[in-house]
């Protein structure tokens, strides 16, 4: 009865979402205060029921209930507990249920805690949130039921994709989904504001924590996904411009632009229409990203066509949400008053430049990702758009964006003096020039993008801390520290990217036990091949000793694993991390003469890529805490003043 109870809870949640939407729509039209009052508890109840449904699905996976089709197709009784748990969302139906669960909880959270919006805008926001959820509920209940039973009941399941059986990927999808759903909330706020024509600083302050939260989760999700691909796939790269990677990058680019735009609106009451537009675009990108990954369209356009029911539903949702939001924006943008004006040379001007550059990069990634799919759908020809296009198209713009990011915090609001700005930014410029000169003089073989990136990173690292110059650090707001750390994280990641692309050394050898391999200052000795057995896999493990210069000797053990349930072989790379880089070793296939393919990389400072990503997310977290704390204090002060008058 667990599956049936989960399905009933899902139906009830869907019914409550419909009621929530109706209360909002009718209440706004009829100006009914009783409807306004009812919508909050309905939103909370919807969040509870959909959460119950998702928890019951998790329970079905944990107890390996093989009478449920989804469990059979994505789990097995011998699978480790962590991956039974992660298997809940490691598939189409479960991930969609996770999507709508997080949306339901977000709606409940808004209903319980949001007090800064005016009543009508809050009701419109909750109604918009319910309307989005209704599409997902319909999708689950009509074409992707996660609780479908299976008869006859098989003895065991097929197991989770072996590539997904990794702690990093167990938590990577939920992280991204939290980001996507955060953008859906921002979208609902924007729709609510457009409906009530209440676009101003108060609306932006209410929306900003959701945008910031979504951006933090997306940053963490992309960083974790990049590191997972790096060590799990055995290719030695950290970013491949794969369509699945791009599907998560596009919402992040849009969210980054929205985050800066909503800050201008909240702080200076400018960029009203632009902020609304970005909220629509950011959610559109998250929808497109989710469905690109989950619809199967990326693996084969024709495979998408053989599931007409599910595919049609996906296209219908995309058309309704994105088309509807664009239509609403077109109808209401003329009624949105222009915000306060500012000069070109100002912090607002830098943030607009930031937004434009991010938007152009987003458009280039979007075109490069979807163009092969469109060509295949129309002509049947398979095309590949890879790193040469993306690097050439987006690299220069990304460097320009980083330069603008360095200058932005040093500008004054409203208007600034170009000469004064030049004086403030002179030290970062000198450091960038000095780094560029030194790199050109002492290094060889660097690409122009890597050379500029490494030099610019030095200047950005210094400029990041400039907002703290001559300030009382104890009285500096926490959100300012957040901005400093996030911008410094970009510089750190940039160093890692430039070093990895320019200074990586690689060896590919066919070795027998006893052979030695040298790469950079590393000396490796292939000791032996040994059989291994895990909870649901067997493996051949290479035992290799590695020594850096005359330092300590370390043992590393790359593996070739075989998952019997899925009949799939995976390569588990061995990583050895030092302060200045990572040794990366992959064991390949053996031959009839007892030799084994061994691929070795030495990647200087590659870990800075992910440390930088973590710093960026940490900066966002500090900024969010600082903003929330300031908002709480201001609200308490207002309440105190009102109580004493």
The pLDDT tens digits of the residues spanning 417-448 come to: 888 888 888 999 999 999 999 998 888 878 89
pLDDT tens-digit profile of 39-72? 999 999 999 999 999 999 999 999 988 999 999 8
Residue with tokens 């058309």: 319
Mean per-residue pLDDT, 276-292? 85
Residue 139 token pair: 């999708």
In DSSP terms, 511 is beta-bridged to 596
Mean per-residue pLDDT, 101-120? 89
Residue 300 pLDDT class (50, 70, 90 cuts): very low
Please tell me what DSSP assigns to residue 154: P
Q: What pLDDT, on the 0 to 100 scale, is given for residue 306?
A: 45
- Cβ proximity of 25 and 196 under 8 Å: no
* Residue 630 clears pLDDT 70, i.e. is over it: yes
Residue 454 pLDDT class (50, 70, 90 cuts): very high
* Pairing mode, strands 559-563 and 516-519: unpaired
Residue 294 pLDDT class (50, 70, 90 cuts): low
* Residue 608 clears pLDDT 80, i.e. is over it: yes
* Pairing mode, strands 522-533 and 516-519: antiparallel
- Cβ proximity of 223 and 611 under 8 Å: no
- Cβ proximity of 135 and 512 under 8 Å: no
* Residue 302 clears pLDDT 60, i.e. is over it: no
* Residue 305 clears pLDDT 80, i.e. is over it: no
* Residue 160 clears pLDDT 70, i.e. is over it: no
Q: What pLDDT, on the 0 to 100 scale, is given for residue 507?
A: 92
Instruction: Give the residue, 45 or 308, on which the prediction is more confident.
Output: 45
* Residue 301 clears pLDDT 60, i.e. is over it: no
Residue 24: other Cβ atoms inside 10 A: 29
What sign does the dihedral 490-492-494-497 (CA atoms) show? negative
Please tell me what DSSP assigns to residue 68: B
CA–CA gap between residue 160 and residue 566 (Å, rounded): 8
CA–CA gap between residue 555 and residue 583 (Å, rounded): 12
- How many Cα atoms are found within 13 Å in the side-chain-facing hemisphere of 408? 21
Q: What pLDDT, on the 0 to 100 scale, is given for residue 144?
A: 84
* Pairing mode, strands 581-590 and 596-604: antiparallel
Give the range among 54-68, 328-342, 617-631 with minimum mean pLDDT: 328-342
**What is this structure's pTM?**
0.91
CA–CA gap between residue 591 and residue 598 (Å, rounded): 12
Residue 42 token pair: 């309905």
Please tell me what DSSP assigns to residue 538: E
What mean pLDDT is reported for the chain? 87
Mean per-residue pLDDT, 277-285? 90
pLDDT tens-digit profile of 531-553? 988 777 888 999 999 999 888 99
User: What is the percentage of the chain residues whose pLDDT exceeds 70?
Assistant: 94
Q: What pLDDT, on the 0 to 100 scale, is given for residue 542?
A: 92
Q: What pLDDT, on the 0 to 100 scale, is given for residue 536?
A: 74
Residue 341 pLDDT class (50, 70, 90 cuts): confident
* Pairing mode, strands 568-572 and 522-533: unpaired
pLDDT tens-digit profile of 457-510? 999 999 999 989 888 888 889 999 999 999 999 999 999 999 999 999 999 999
Residue 127 pLDDT class (50, 70, 90 cuts): very high
Q: What pLDDT, on the 0 to 100 scale, is given for residue 565?
A: 66
Mean per-residue pLDDT, 3-28? 95
Residue 81 pLDDT class (50, 70, 90 cuts): confident
User: What is the percentage of the chain residues whose pLDDT exceeds 90?
Assistant: 47
- Cβ proximity of 339 and 270 under 8 Å: yes
Number of helical H runs and strand E runs in the chain: 20, 10
Q: What pLDDT, on the 0 to 100 scale, is given for residue 338?
A: 66
Mean per-residue pLDDT, 183-203? 87
């Amino acid at each position: 009865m667990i599956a049936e109870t989960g399905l009933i809870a899902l139906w009830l949640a869907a019914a409550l979402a419909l009621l929530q939407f109706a209360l909002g729509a009718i209440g706004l039209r009829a100006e009914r205060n009783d409807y306004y009052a009812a919508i909050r508890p309905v939103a909370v109840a919807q969040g509870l029921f959909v959460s119950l449904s998702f928890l019951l699905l998790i329970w079905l996976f944990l107890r390996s209930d093989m009478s449920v089709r989804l469990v059979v197709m994505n789990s097995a009784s011998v699978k480790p507990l962590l991956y039974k748990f992660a298997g809940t969302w490691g598939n189409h139906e479960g991930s969609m249920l996770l999507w709508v669960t997080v949306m339901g909880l977000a709606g409940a959270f808004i209903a319980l805690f949001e007090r800064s919006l005016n009543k009508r805008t809050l009701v419109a926001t909750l109604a918009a949130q319910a309307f989005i959820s209704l599409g997902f509920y319909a999708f689950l209940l009509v074409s992707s039921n996660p609780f479908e039973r299976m008869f006859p009941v098989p003895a065991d399941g097929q197991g989770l994709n072996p590539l997904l059986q990794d702690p990093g990927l167990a938590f990577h999808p939920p992280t991204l989904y939290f980001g996507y759903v955060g953008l859906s909330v921002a979208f609902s706020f924007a729709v609510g504001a457009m409906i009530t024509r209440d676009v101003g600083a108060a609306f932006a302050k209410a929306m900003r924590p959701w945008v910031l939260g979504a951006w933090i989760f997306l940053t963490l999700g992309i960083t974790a996904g990049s590191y997972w691909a790096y060590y799990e796939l055995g290719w030695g790269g950290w970013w491949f411009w794969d369509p699945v990677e791009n599907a998560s990058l596009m919402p992040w680019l849009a969210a980054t632009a929205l985050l800066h735009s909503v800050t201008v609106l909240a702080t200076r009451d400018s960029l009203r229409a632009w902020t609304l537009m970005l909220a629509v675009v950011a959610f559109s990108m998250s929808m497109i990203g989710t469905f690109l990954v989950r619809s199967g369209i990326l693996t084969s356009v024709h495979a998408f066509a053989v599931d007409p029911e599910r595919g049609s539903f996906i296209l219908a949702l995309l058309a309704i949400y994105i088309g509807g939001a664009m239509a609403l924006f077109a109808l209401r943008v003329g009624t949105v008053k222009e915000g306060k004006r500012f000069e070109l040379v100002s912090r607002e001007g830098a943030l607009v430049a930031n937004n434009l550059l991010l938007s152009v990069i987003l458009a280039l990634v979007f075109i490069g990702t979807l163009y092969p799919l469109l060509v295949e759908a129309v002509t049947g020809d398979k095309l590949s758009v890879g790193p040469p296009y993306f690097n050439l198209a987006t690299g220069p713009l990304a460097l320009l964006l980083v330069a603008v990011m360095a200058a932005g915090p040093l500008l004054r609001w409203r208007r600034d003096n170009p000469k004064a700005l030049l004086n403030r930014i002179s030290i970062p410029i000198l450091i960038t020039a000095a780094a560029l000169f030194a790199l050109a003089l002492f290094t060889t073989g660097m690409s122009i993008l890597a050379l500029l990136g490494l030099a610019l990173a030095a200047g950005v690292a210094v400029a990041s801390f400039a907002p703290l110059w001559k300030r009382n650090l104890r009285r500096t707001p926490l959100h300012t520290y957040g901005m400093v750390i996030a911008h410094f994280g970009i510089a750190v990641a940039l160093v890692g990217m430039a070093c990895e692309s320019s200074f990586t050394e690689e060896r590919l050898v066919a070795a027998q036990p006893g052979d030695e391999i040298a790469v950079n200052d590393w000396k490796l000795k292939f000791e032996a091949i040994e059989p291994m057995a895990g909870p649901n896999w067997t493996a051949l493990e290479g035992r290799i000793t590695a020594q850096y210069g005359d330092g300590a000797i370390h043992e590393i053990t790359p593996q070739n694993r075989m998952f019997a349930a899925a009949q799939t072989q995976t390569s588990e790379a061995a990583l050895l991390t030092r302060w200045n880089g990572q040794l990366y070793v992959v064991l390949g296939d053996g031959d009839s003469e007892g030799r084994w393919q061994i691929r070795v990389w030495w990647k200087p400072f590659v870990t800075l890529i992910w440390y930088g990503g973590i710093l960026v997310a940490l900066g966002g977290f500090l900024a969010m805490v600082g903003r929330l704390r300031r908002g709480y204090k201001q609200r308490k002060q207002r309440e105190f003043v009102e109580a004493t008058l």
